[in-house]
Amino acid sequence: MSIKELAQHLNVSIGTVSRALNGRADVNPETRKRVLAAAEAMGYVANQSGRSLRQGTTNVIGFTIETNVETKSQGDTFFMSVFDGVQAVFARHKLDLVVLPCSSEDDPFDHVRRVVSRQFADGLIISATQRIDPRIDFLIERGIPFVTLGRSQSGGEHSWIDMDFDSVATGAVARLVARGHRRIALANTASGINLSYIFEDSYRRALAEHGIAYDPDIVIRGEITERGGYAICDKLLALPDRPTAVVLVNESLAIGIYRRLHDAGLMPGRDMAIIGLRQSPQARFLSPTLTCHRLSLHDVGVELAQSLLATMPAYKDLYPQGVVQKIWPMELVPGESDPPLQP
């Protein structure tokens, strides 16, 4: 079912059919109606390869994720919610979202290079940014429109959306200090993801502001999974001078930490104050409830999509915001896991 068949069925030239379908001006309204009707009836839809060969554009946006659940995971419904927001925007422009998973055996840089050379997409959304991320320099050099979900120190000016981990870390420390805590641990991720640096820097700055000395012994890095949380809590409990509170870089850790405390006959909150990151469905159902932070991932997705379009020449007029670098606010949701310290 090619445009040629459709054309000779209608007794017009293929040029006219193409113009009619693409909404060009110089075509008789009457014939346009005929063409549209016939296309609908015969189920014609333009071949994507032919079209993109001619126009050099695919109408596809790629979203890279990493399938390494152990170290990079963001929680169980994180990406699904973001995708939903992204699609809400793209649907209005007849753009299709495709997710390009980078397998755990593959290198993220190689992955992006392959994606680019295969010309899958007109634009890319990159997640899990590293502190030094060669993908960013590469994409800038190649002139591929892209946005990252997460900041980086790499490369030149580019659009990114990130969450306000700075405020979360400093706010959590301040809140714990106000509640009498002085020995505040940090549970961080061991991966090179930029978030881990931002989070730890802010944590250290907040400690300094409250006149608390930084103690590397209570900054533990590990897998940001339930199992990782268990292991991290294990190490904290083994310390001679046990911390009274811990700030988490990821809410999945909370599950494991709760479990480890229970196994030691201790009670989360009372025996160790805990502040988690994002209000995930699981964290919401912990007992005692986890103090964490509200965040609309759907809206993050919307913002990602709009920022990407703003960098694409074809959509510049519709989204004139230019380069956007936005830190998304996270609002603290008080729970029962960080009560005032009992002397």
Partner DNA sequence: CACCGCACCGTAAACGTTTGCGGTGCAACG
Partner DNA sequence: CGTTGCACCGCAAACGTTTACGGTGCGGTG
Residues contributing to the site for a copy of itself (CB under 8 A) = 43, 45, 47-50, 52-53, 58, 65, 67-69, 73-81, 83-84, 87-88, 91, 96-101, 103-106, 114, 117-120, 225-227, 229-230, 252, 255-256, 258-259, 262-263, 281-282, 284-287
285/250 Cα distance (integer angstroms): 16
Of 56 and 313, CB closest to a copy of itself: 56
Q: Least Å distance between CB 134 and DNA? A: 24
47/256 Cα distance (integer angstroms): 50
On whether the CB atoms of residues 151 and 88 are closer than 8 A, the answer is no
Partner in contact with 160, chosen from DNA, a copy of itself, none, beta carbon below 5 to 8 Å by kind: none
Q: Following DSSP, what letter does each residue of 35-85 receive, concatenated? A: HHHHHHHHT----HHHHHHHHS---EEEEEEE--HHHH---TTHHHHHHHH
Partner in contact with 130, chosen from DNA, a copy of itself, none, beta carbon below 5 to 8 Å by kind: none
| Residue 123 φ then ψ, to 5° | -155, 160
**Residue 221: exposed, middle, or buried by beta-carbon count in 10 A (0-12, 13-18, 19+)?**
middle
Q: Least Å distance between CB 17 and DNA? A: 7
3-state DSSP assignment of residue 230: helix
Q: Least Å distance between CB 215 and a copy of itself? A: 27
Q: Least Å distance between CB 120 and DNA? A: 15
Of 41 and 323, CB closest to a copy of itself: 41
- Please give the residues from 39 up to 68 whose contact with DNA meets the rule CB under 7 A: 44, 46-47, 49-51, 53-56
On whether the CB atoms of residues 301 and 88 are closer than 8 A, the answer is yes
Partner in contact with 227, chosen from DNA, a copy of itself, none, beta carbon below 5 to 8 Å by kind: a copy of itself
Q: Least Å distance between CB 130 and a copy of itself? A: 19
Annotate 316-338 with b (16+ C-beta within 10 A) or e (fewer).
eeebeeeebebebebebbebebb
Binding residues vs DNA (CB under 7 A): 2-4, 11-16, 18-19, 21-22, 26-31, 44, 46-47, 49-51, 53-56
